[in-house]
Structure 1
């Protein structure tokens, strides 16, 4: 357990390379979901603060673009080194602020470092192609050009990795950034911003501003100097982002969640499937957009799978993520805690059977936080709300299927299409799954959660809009293609 003295501090906005309080001199408190104590305070910014941030990014975009891709990449390398030096502090802050266990927080921070180094390497990679021209005396080629000012709106569940996988490609490809993090993860985000600030980016290239979504988030999307917006968050808010961006004719990219299925076929390695479902469904208290939430099991192995799943879930330790031996932390906020408990009650009312967990933990240190045990339902029909709505919590719905065809049909019976996985030893089954499943991330004999940083990430249907994130695919969103034709006079 972490025993160092902790003091809640006030964190400022970072605009045009200066740390400053909001004009309104007002702050927002960020609460530790394990004990309801303050983790820190961030600025409750106003439209005037936002105006300064966007104008700073706008004025910096020409000189930043002209700096050159290699030099921009070197600044990302420096940021990665600084983040690595501060890994333990940032990870501990993350655990205090949004509840995930310290090992998970360290893993996420390490991933942020790796993402920075990956995109730093983009500084030395090609930025276009030579294309044959029908005119033998001409040279024709393409080059990538940045969009300009990019707004970055990020969620609380991955307060290090998601902002970095958005901002690193935006910056290396020549854009300037205005970053608005979710309030529930804003203290962790401020510590990440400190690493960027120490790396020595030119004034105005990267700006950090905190505040409410209705004021700062919407104000950023509507700002006339903004050239693109990338957003990760709820479907409801994402639709509003799309409408606002489309009305202005600016580029937008949305990641909006999922209701991710896992199919357990009759020929699956049951022990392997159980381990992956528990990890995919309950790590980070199920607060991942790729979390496993629907487990569709062929009827001939349903009882065996259920019994083993419950047996292994019983071993999960729930508590403060800073303590050793804790496997699952609290829900990230009171709001999320209430949502999880509401859906557990909805599941019961719909006629599903709660076979394990779903209990609010009380007594001793539990009374101070937002703790609930992981929940497993059976007798779930595909149309129930717990099988259709994104709960964003440690709740798994077990659904029985007669065969693989029915299992895939049930898996596709949702408006979302982010990730999906299958457990099978049959090559024909996995090939059918790959072809028929409606998801952007398809995993075979592996949990639904997780994607490697060098691979494209994004979903189908209501899960995503716009080009993919991460890997080389990020270039498609953060740049435009310019085709050049040259002929001698």
Structure 2
């Protein structure tokens, strides 16, 4: 029997006003339903926003360390349930057990991190120009925050929006992606058990086009944080800013790893393969372009193909790479593979769906490497969101850097080199919000800012670390003449 989830609004678990529900499926075995959720509508979204607005003053005036204590307790509850959350994430989203466990732990760590940050919230004291004046700033919560999150990191991304918003005294309404919402709702179970006041934290499941739009456009919402595709994110940004709301968007990527002639080729191949094929390539920071110096190109291709072919595919509880999350995502990846072949790229390995009993009707695709790719091919310019790597040959470092920047996105980028000068130039000149040296494009520390350039971000506010606190607070300057 599948578990049945409700919306969490104003401190209560409730069914939607629509009376409708939907089920999620296991991408490794699509005939198996995982859980049932509320197919909510605008009325449910509006009720959640109104509950958040009613709770705004109480939560904002709760001493920050008390808010932190609730976050810390919620983190502890999540930690106690880590294994069951890991299993739920694997069944709904398809990640391997190791990947899912790492993501759940990240969510736990985020709650602990922002719980501690509540002790340092406040402002700055400045020197006044005249006598008998105390001059200082106070950081206040923005108000009600609408949070809209994707399916590919279904607990980590909600956590890094929820925790800083609540830590700084904002009330929230979350609309998680319908493909894998279970672990996000488990966060609200933990917050409820930790004692968060009614209305401070609310979650409503249902389509983003209905629920997400309703919470984002509600007059009582003061800030909107969205993670998803560039196309949708740009519409969210335009609509929310037209209403005068504070907006933060983190969007798509077409992330390069530049491999120079001084690189250790085997190390480079391992770094690129981990970035390209980890989490089945379903990460906005996944490496989708390997830009390789001509002197090591052939050797690199052999090494990265060997890496790809060594990956064991299957259900996430046993194998190295799980399925794609839905049939439509799988079809999108297969479409891009066909497009790449039609454009003239050479299929070096992969490109199909694996066969065998263990794959059943699951949404599996082989780790895929294309060579002989020009940077103007669609496979090199558009986000695929699957385990597909385009290998591009370049003449020198200058050509590699120019090629890395020659896309509409700018989220994450890396270089593999043994030349410090090249590494320093790359970090300085690459057009990406995250730059890495001798490391994969994926993987983020939780205490530093995260965000992109160009179409990878609204380029307004960053997430995580102190940047997360900045987005959810507004400064007031005080002149105290006592």
User: For the superposition of Structure 1 and Structure 2, which TM-score range results when normalised by the shorter chain?
Assistant: over 0.9
Q: Secondary structure at the match of 2:205?
A: coil
Asked if the contact 1:30/1:187 (under 8 Å) is kept, the reply is no
Q: Secondary structure at the match of 2:445?
A: coil
**1:353 correspondence with 2:352:** no
Identify the match of residue 396 of structure 2 among 399, 403, 406. 403
**1:27 correspondence with 2:31:** no
In structure 1, the residue matched to 2:238 is: 243
Q: 1:387-422: CA deviations, max 9, x gaps?
A: 000001000000001000000000000010000000
Q: C-alpha displacement at 1:450, in angstroms?
A: 1.2
In structure 2, the residue matched to 1:4 is: none
Aligned equivalents of 1:312, 1:383: Cα separation in 2: 26
Q: 1:64-120: CA deviations, max 9, x gaps?
A: 011111110110000010000000001100000010001110111011111101000
- Superposition pairs of residues 108-257 of structure 1, within 5 angstroms: 108-257=103-252
In structure 2, the residue matched to 1:481 is: 475
Q: C-alpha displacement at 1:467, in angstroms?
A: 0.9
Aligned equivalents of 2:101, 2:121: Cα separation in 1: 33
Q: Secondary structure at the match of 1:183?
A: coil
Identify the match of residue 420 of structure 1 among 406, 413, 436. 413
Aligned equivalents of 1:430, 1:221: Cα separation in 2: 41
In structure 2, the residue matched to 1:3 is: none
In structure 2, the residue matched to 1:90 is: 85
- Superposition pairs of residues 28-107 of structure 1, within 5 angstroms: 28-36=22-30, 37-107=32-102
Asked if the contact 2:121/2:168 (under 8 Å) is kept, the reply is no
Identify the match of residue 394 of structure 1 among 387, 390, 394. 387
Q: Which moved more, 1:364-373 or 1:188-197?
A: 188-197
Q: 1:24-55: CA deviations, max 9, x gaps?
A: 21101111100001111110001111121011
In structure 1, the residue matched to 2:6 is: 12
Q: C-alpha displacement at 1:61, in angstroms?
A: 0.5
In structure 1, the residue matched to 2:267 is: 272
Q: 1:107-163: CA deviations, max 9, x gaps?
A: 110111111010000111142101111113211111101011000101101011110
Aligned equivalents of 2:236, 2:12: Cα separation in 1: 28
Aligned equivalents of 1:453, 1:463: Cα separation in 2: 19
Aligned equivalents of 2:389, 2:259: Cα separation in 1: 14
Q: Secondary structure at the match of 2:77?
A: helix
Q: C-alpha displacement at 1:221, in angstroms?
A: 1.0
**1:443 correspondence with 2:436:** yes
Q: 1:176-214: CA deviations, max 9, x gaps?
A: 000100001112222222112211100000001000111
Aligned equivalents of 1:124, 1:214: Cα separation in 2: 38
> Structure 2 unaligned runs (5+)?
none
Q: Structure 1 residues 113 and 434 mapped into 2: Cα distance closer, same or farther (>3 Å)?
A: same
Aligned equivalents of 2:159, 2:185: Cα separation in 1: 13
Q: Secondary structure at the match of 2:289?
A: strand
Q: C-alpha displacement at 1:434, in angstroms?
A: 1.0
Identify the match of residue 301 of structure 1 among 291, 296, 304. 296
Asked if the contact 2:64/2:121 (under 8 Å) is kept, the reply is no
Alpha-carbon RMSD across the aligned residues, in angstroms, is 0.9
**1:369 correspondence with 2:362:** yes
Q: Secondary structure at the match of 1:254?
A: strand
Q: 1:310-335: CA deviations, max 9, x gaps?
A: 11211100000022xx1000001111
Asked if the contact 2:60/2:169 (under 8 Å) is kept, the reply is yes
Asked if the contact 1:35/1:365 (under 8 Å) is kept, the reply is no
Asked if the contact 1:90/1:192 (under 8 Å) is kept, the reply is no
In structure 2, the residue matched to 1:336 is: 329
Q: 1:363-391: CA deviations, max 9, x gaps?
A: 32323210010100001001100000000
> Structure 1 unaligned runs (5+)?
1-6
TM-score by length of 1: 0.97
Asked if the contact 1:15/1:53 (under 8 Å) is kept, the reply is yes
Q: C-alpha displacement at 1:480, in angstroms?
A: 0.5
Identify the match of residue 461 of structure 1 among 449, 454, 458. 454
Asked if the contact 1:280/1:292 (under 8 Å) is kept, the reply is yes
Asked if the contact 2:287/2:389 (under 8 Å) is kept, the reply is yes
Q: Secondary structure at the match of 2:34?
A: strand
Asked if the contact 1:361/1:367 (under 8 Å) is kept, the reply is no
Asked if the contact 2:347/2:371 (under 8 Å) is kept, the reply is yes
Aligned equivalents of 1:485, 1:273: Cα separation in 2: 56
Q: Secondary structure at the match of 2:360?
A: helix
Asked if the contact 1:41/1:187 (under 8 Å) is kept, the reply is no
